[in-house]
Chain A
Amino acid sequence: DQQVKQNSPSLSVQEGRISILNCDYTNSMFDYFLWYKKYPAEGPTFLISISSIKDKNEDGRFTVFLNKSAKHLSLHIVPSQPGDSAVYFCAASGRGGTSYGKLTFGQGTILTVHP
């Protein structure tokens, strides 16, 4: 039962253009969403997060959009840089019950930014 899904295994973008990574979730108890970036041989690095009371959060080149009715979030990277090439994971967290204290991750999307 995949509660967080990243349906695109990979994405290829030209340097300077926008990268859009998508994530869908099924569990209505999720109320906090995070994006992590992972380079080979390193642990995931926190990128940006959003609470369910917001629909947008921005941090420099990174913006996360949340559509609660569609249970969908997306990460926009503008402009994309070659150093952004990595695996991007979407994660969700809920409060209460079995979701408490647990991050549920998607399968990841490999982003490649070409110079």
Chain B
Amino acid sequence: ETGVTQSPTHLIKTRGQQVTLRCSSQSGHNTVSWYQQALGQGPQFIFQYYREEENGRGNFPPRFSGLQFPNYSSELNVNALELDDSALYLCASSLGSQNTEAFFGQGTRLTVV
């Protein structure tokens, strides 16, 4: 049974650029949620994908968008990067949309300069 894997692990981008982060969900899981964790804070919910459809969104602007593929892997896209987007981006997978026991990947550390 493979766990949740995210790529890349680290990334440096310039303000105004676009970025795509990837997540492979744990085997058998059909739900992926994305979180942003700023330094010294807890993770903040960005959105969730359940069976390829967005199923809930947090307080993030539309330049944060996502996709889920038929194999339940997922992408997080951020357009027009801002300095404040620098954070650890975490992907969590679960079976069903209740997130009762979501399993997290190791995260992607994004730095915007």
Contacts from A to B (Cβ < 8 Å):
4, 6, 32, 34, 36, 41-46, 49, 89, 91, 93, 95, 98, 100-108
**0/1 string, B54-98, CB within 8 A of A gives 1:** 011010000000000000000000000000000000101000011
Report yes or no: A102 in contact with B43, Cβ–Cβ below 8 A: no
The answer to whether A93 touches B98, judged by C-beta atoms less than 8 angstroms apart, is yes
Residues of B within 8 A of A (CB): 4, 6, 31, 33, 35, 40-45, 48, 50, 55-56, 58, 90, 92, 97-107
Interface centre among A95, A98, A103 (most CB of B within 10 A): A103
9 closest pairs, A vs B, by CB? A105-B42, A43-B104, A101-B56, A101-B97, A101-B48, A102-B45, A44-B104, A43-B106, A105-B43
**B90: which A residues are within 8 A, CB to CB?**
43-44
